[in-house]
Amino acid sequence: MTAPTKPPYGTAADSVSERAPGEPLHSPVIDWFDEHARDLPWRRPEAGAWGVMVSEFMLQQTPVNRVLPVYEQWMARWPRPADLAAEAPGEAVRAWGRLGYPRRAL
């Protein structure tokens, strides 16, 4: 029987004890993200501040897999804040669909 292997990121205690003094704690997280991050539309440069803000509102208490289709439809319909502002508020609420807490759409 072989000895159990150590998890790739160790335990919290391992991380602290093995870390050189002054080494940033965020390095392992950034390294993991660089390797495993999902390609999400609001992480792309073309999303801009508007796309990121829309995603932040949509993702509050809502899983990513439910947000993705609504986000893409929303951004296609209202690519700029002015486009949304020109619509009646009820349109935003209807487009919000089943994301929950439709008041967030307003």
User: How far is residue 71's CA from residue 78's CA, in Å, rounded to a whole number?
Assistant: 10
Instruction: Write down the catalytic residue from 18, 35, 46, 56.
Output: 56
The answer to whether residue 56 is catalytic is: yes
Catalytic residue ranges? 56
